[in-house]
Amino acid sequence: MNTDQSNLMDDFMKGKIGRRTFVRQATALGISLSSIGAIMAACTTGGSGSSSDSIKWQNWANTGEIQRFKDFTANYNKTHNTNVQYTFIPSANNNYFTKILTQLNGGVGPDVFYAGDGDVGKLVANKTILELNDLLSSSKSKEKAEDYNPALWGAAKTQSGKIFGVPVDCNPLLLWYNEKVLEDAGVTTMPATLAEQGKWTRDAFQEVIDKVFATKKSGFILEAWALQFWAWCTVNGGKVYDKDGYGDLIAQDDPKSMEALTWLSNNVRQKKIVYAGSLPKGQGSDLILISGQTGFVSAGRWLLPEFKAANGMKYDCVTFPSTDGKIAPAPVALAYMVINAKTKLKDAAFDFLTNFVSADGQKFRLSGGGNAVPSIQAADAEKVVTDGNDPKHAQYLLDARNAGYGLFPAEGNAPGLSDDIKTMFDGIWLQNKDIKTSLANFAKTANPRIQKGQQDAK
């Protein structure tokens, strides 16, 4: 942003010019319409440029979640003896991060906000969010860093141990299945039962999807998402990135990862596994499972409300199959609560953050049909997942979280890398390209990006 644009924004924020004049002059200076809209919205609601008695916090939320966040904010304002007023600013998920960056660059970003696991690394690198180590270890914090599975920090924690964001909650990836589809295929022992018996191996999974495929249905929908591909590597005992997830891409040279990806590719070619990237537009894996056209999909707890609403659907969940039948590390989808480095009320912003991500805060937000799993390891909060036994083996959501890992920091700190990985795998799943060659060629360009990302995050 050049000097003229900054001066114009400053005049607008201070009320020296009106909205119409701002729009006209901003357009003349080359500021995009989307940026103008984001700046005006942020200035209207406050942000870090707001008065000293106001904290604004922002996240993405679907329609069903917005009221819960409003209720949490209202309860916080009511129960905390503070002169600061906290205001929730909901945002659609579409282009959320782009809007946040625009606001931050304009000096009008929210004081506290969500950052996705693939976006937080960029905020760490450009130093627009606060380091939280001292606050988390102080008496001001309702939770400590050790209250979380250490593998969940992702790019929110640098290799040197600096923490810039706290997991708000999480969504461990596991397998959801339609029991009727499996029963109709002649499956007599359900996957969750096999898991309880220590027999839920990949061979057992293959046997089930073979039976489903024989009924002219797909065995499993493979989502078009890098973490969904890597899941099969790690549960097979393979490695994807070097240096505990901070280093180079090495899956192409890891025998166990290559074996798992080859197995996936063979099943996709045989159409026993359907790649979601090949589905017709508007046809999601969730609806395919509900309608009984596939045996399995992979997702977090976010699909549970849909399954509940599907009349008569018999469903359950199970962890990814492993080599020995025991629970193995699989990915966990995450978002982090972060604090704007330019906030004028650091302590007030952190007080909201620590209450939001505390055991009580997560319990408040996730009770009664929440669509996520507490990220904090606290028994009272974890009950929101297992109370009511829906699904029947809901405990696997907690088990998967405890064994799981967040987006690899190597990937999270290299902007756009996850998207490029997905595109590279499109050629494997859709065009039958050779896996090892594709991965090896990709690593030649990916690893310098990873190394730069780690350097920027220091």
Task: Render each residue's pLDDT in the chain as its tens digit; 458 residues.
Answer: 555 655 566 555 545 566 666 677 777 777 766 566 656 555 544 444 334 478 999 999 887 789 999 999 999 999 986 789 999 999 988 889 999 999 999 999 999 999 999 999 999 999 999 999 999 999 999 999 999 999 999 999 999 999 999 999 999 999 999 999 999 999 999 999 999 999 999 999 999 999 999 999 999 999 999 999 999 999 999 999 999 999 999 999 999 999 999 999 999 999 999 999 999 988 899 999 999 999 999 999 999 999 999 989 999 999 999 999 999 999 999 999 999 999 999 999 999 999 999 999 999 999 887 799 999 999 989 999 999 899 999 999 999 999 999 999 999 999 999 999 999 999 999 999 999 999 999 999 999 999 999 999 98
Q: 169 to each of 7, 165, 282, 372, how far by Cα in Å?
A: 39, 12, 28, 6
DSSP code string of 263-326 = HHHHHHHTTSEEEGGGSPTT--HHHHHHTTSEEEEEE-GGGHHHHHHSTT--EEEEPPPBSSSS
Which is nearest to 159 in space by CA: 330, 329, 410?
410
**Coil, helix or strand at residue 236:** coil
Which residue bears the tokens 């302590």? Answer: 347
| Highest CATH level, class, for 32-171+339-386 | alpha beta
What CATH superfamily classification does 174-330+418-456 receive? Periplasmic binding protein-like II (3.40.190.10)
Q: Are 177 and 191 in contact (CB under 8 A)?
A: yes
pTM of the model: 0.87
pLDDT of residue 33: 64
Query: Which tokens in the block code for residue 178?
Result: 């339609």
According to CATH, where is 3.40.190.10 located in the chain?
32-171+339-386, 174-330+418-456
168, containing H or E segment? strand 166-172
**Coil, helix or strand at residue 57:** strand
Beta bridge partners of 337: 114, 166
Cis peptide before 90 (omega within 30 of 0): no
pLDDT of residue 20: 66
**Coil, helix or strand at residue 429:** helix
pLDDT of residue 26: 74
End-to-end CA distance of the chain: 25
